[in-house]
Chains A and B, each alone.
Chain A
Amino acid sequence: MNCLEFERILPEFLEGGHTQDQQAHLNSCPACSNLLADLNDISVQAKALADFAEPSPVVWNAIEAQLRREGLIRRSAPRQAALPWFRRSKMAWLLPVAAALAIVVGIKLYRPVGAGENQQAVKHIVLTPGEDVKVVSSEDQQVLDTMARRPARQARYRADMQDANAFIRDAQATLKNNPGDIYAQQMLINAYEQKQMLYDLAVNRSSGQ
């Protein structure tokens, strides 16, 4: 059994029915076992919410909007007729649980473009292009000042520092949108590495001559 097959049987698995083959895959696959653990956590915490006061209409509306955005539900029968009954029901807590599960499963099952295909992976672009602003920080300027006697070199380093700063800004903007994006984290590290190189070369060369 592979991950795709496991994800297909996940609903039945959550209901308690599973085979040895499925269990064996779960034991050997960190991704799938993490997914299952997340779903179980949500389920447990959501059940605890059942004892709390009924959520405000804002919560219900937000859940509905989120489900609609995810394409999991469509506009259909008038909501007002169904929800009051559902809110009074002892099973009311199941709706947020189901919504949360649906969203989490949607996110977990989402994967980038099929390998080897030349098409866009995601429709919504989150990466933000760098602002076209040429700036250097006061620290940059201090380093540039060490080259004051050589304007041509100073201009070249200034341009390179602006490029490094643009890289840093872009990586930071990406991380702001996706703090857990380890590749954006790596981009940010690389951007700072470029800047460090510029500082090293600028200062070493200035002091060496």
Chain B
Amino acid sequence: MNGVSWASKAVTVLAFTGLALGAGEIRKDLQFKVGKRPMVSINNPYGPVVVKAGVPHRVVVTAILHSDKVELDQSSSRNRVDVISHLLPGADQITGVVEYQVEVPPEADLTVHSENGPIHIEKLQGDIATEGGDSSIEVLDCANGHVHVKTLNGPVNLSNVRHGHIEIVSMGGDVLLSGVDGPWVNVNSNSGKIQYAGDFGDEGEYDFTSHTGDIEAVTPAYTSIDVFARSNGKVESDFSLAPKHTPIIVRGGNAFHGTLNKATSSVKLFSFSGKIHLKKRQN
């Protein structure tokens, strides 16, 4: 009995070892010494990219290559680091996958491109530019930088991004902004839903536009905005807004225009045919 058990365990171990070898995963660890506010670029056609704030003057890249059909190209100068997943002939969405874990100085300027892998970025203070396809893009706990996101149909989630200059363009991906503020927050969606939860900061300009997607903004009673909403779809507000005299003539569709409190921020919610709802946050 013991002999059989030992044998089965051995077979199991060998089988997993064989699978692992067959999978051909290769780990690469890269480190770069950089100056102040370096520029870091990761271009990964297939696979996830996770970027977090690390220590000053150092960029650390850990990459798991899923096969020998893909290799890493890297280049660096004094203050610039580029890492590219280079697909070799025969690579596909499975064999071309590379998983990245990257640490950059908090003030680094970052560019990340991944066609079908999720992108996750957190705790950075520099400028961020990301491009994605159908997978999610998350930016968390960042501040003081430009955040530019382009995606086809992947969901976009920005959470606790403060004092940012934010531009998001999405075709079908839903866009969720939670605790996001800054002097300029612009979301341009085709069919994806736009959801905002927050107080619209102070003296910012918030433009949310969608062709057919719905727009929902949930904000507390103390929020201070001048808001204009318009769509051919349903347009509603939970607030009793103070009327706003406007020189703009609104022809067609449904609309409301008014102010809340001191109206320090400007909010424009435009959809061609989606629903728009300015909701009051409870409690």
Specify the main secondary structure of chain A where it touches its partner: helix
Name, among A4, A118, A125, A166, the residue most crowded by chain B CB atoms within 10 Å (CB to CB).
Answer: A118
Interfacial chain A residues near B235, Cβ < 8 Å:
118
Interfacial chain A residues near B234, Cβ < 8 Å:
118
Q: Does A107 contact B (CB under 8 A)?
A: yes
Interfacial chain A residues near B206, Cβ < 8 Å:
none
Identify which of A53-61, A74-82, A90-98, A191-199 touches chain B: A191-199
Interfacial chain A residues near B258, Cβ < 8 Å:
115-116
Contacts A156-B152, A193-B169, A197-B169 given: A177-B249 contact, CB under 8 Å? Answer: no
Question: Complex formed: what's the CA distance from A209 to B113 in Å?
Answer: 13
Q: CB within 8 A of A122: which of B172, B188, B244, B250?
A: B250
Q: Which residue of A lies closest to B46 (CB)?
A: A209
Question: Complex formed: what's the CA distance from A30 to B239 in Å?
Answer: 28
Contacts A127-B232, A187-B270 given: A112-B247 contact, CB under 8 Å? Answer: no
Q: CB within 8 A of A121: which of B209, B254, B273?
A: B254
Interface size on B, residues (CB 8 A): 52
Interfacial chain B residues near A171, Cβ < 8 Å:
272
Q: Does B58 contact A (CB under 8 A)?
A: no
Question: Complex formed: what's the CA distance from A107 to B250 in Å?
Answer: 11
Question: Complex formed: what's the CA distance from A133 to B237 in Å?
Answer: 33
Contacts A113-B256, A197-B169 given: A129-B270 contact, CB under 8 Å? Answer: no
Shortest Cβ gap from A78 to chain B (Å)? 35
Interfacial chain A residues near B191, Cβ < 8 Å:
163
Pairwise interchain contact A194-B169, C-beta atoms closer than 8 A: yes
Contact bitstring A168-186, B, C-beta under 8 A = 1, else 0: 0011001001101111001
Q: CB within 8 A of A113: which of B207, B252, B254, B259?
A: B254
Name, among B232, B237, B272, the residue most crowded by chain A CB atoms within 10 Å (CB to CB).
Answer: B272
Question: Complex formed: what's the CA distance from A117 to B246 in Å?
Answer: 16
Question: Complex formed: what's the CA distance from A110 to B87 in Å?
Answer: 61
Contact bitstring B243-271, A, C-beta under 8 A = 1, else 0: 11111111111111111000000001010
Pairwise interchain contact B256-A117, C-beta atoms closer than 8 A: yes
Contacts A163-B171, A194-B188, A208-B45 given: A116-B240 contact, CB under 8 Å? Answer: yes
Pairwise interchain contact A115-B257, C-beta atoms closer than 8 A: yes
Q: Which of B205-261 contact A (CB under 8 A)?
A: 207, 209, 211, 230, 232, 234-237, 239-259
Pairwise interchain contact A114-B243, C-beta atoms closer than 8 A: yes
Q: Which residue of A lies closest to B45 (CB)?
A: A209
Question: Complex formed: what's the CA distance from A109 to B134 in Å?
Answer: 47
Pairwise interchain contact A122-B43, C-beta atoms closer than 8 A: no
Q: Does A126 contact B (CB under 8 A)?
A: yes
Q: Hey, which bits of chain A sit against chain B, CB under 8 A? A: 2-4, 30-31, 34, 107, 110-122, 124-127, 129-130, 156-157, 160, 163-164, 166-167, 170-171, 174, 177-178, 180-183, 186-187, 190-191, 193-194, 197-198, 200-201, 204-205, 208-209
12 pairs, CB–CB < 8 Å, chain A vs chain B: A4-B245, A30-B247, A113-B254, A116-B256, A124-B251, A126-B252, A127-B252, A127-B272, A178-B251, A183-B270, A194-B171, A197-B171
> Which 9 pairs across A and B sit closest by C-beta, in order of nearness?
A115-B258, A126-B252, A115-B241, A116-B241, A112-B250, A167-B211, A118-B236, A127-B252, A121-B255
Q: Hey, which bits of chain B sit against chain A, CB under 8 A? A: 43, 45, 84, 87, 113, 115, 131, 133-134, 150, 152-153, 169, 171-172, 188, 190-191, 207, 209, 211, 230, 232, 234-237, 239-259, 268, 270, 272-273
Given contacts A113-B255, A121-B230, A130-B272, 7 further A-B contacts (CB under 8 A): A115-B256, A118-B236, A121-B254, A122-B251, A156-B134, A180-B249, A205-B45
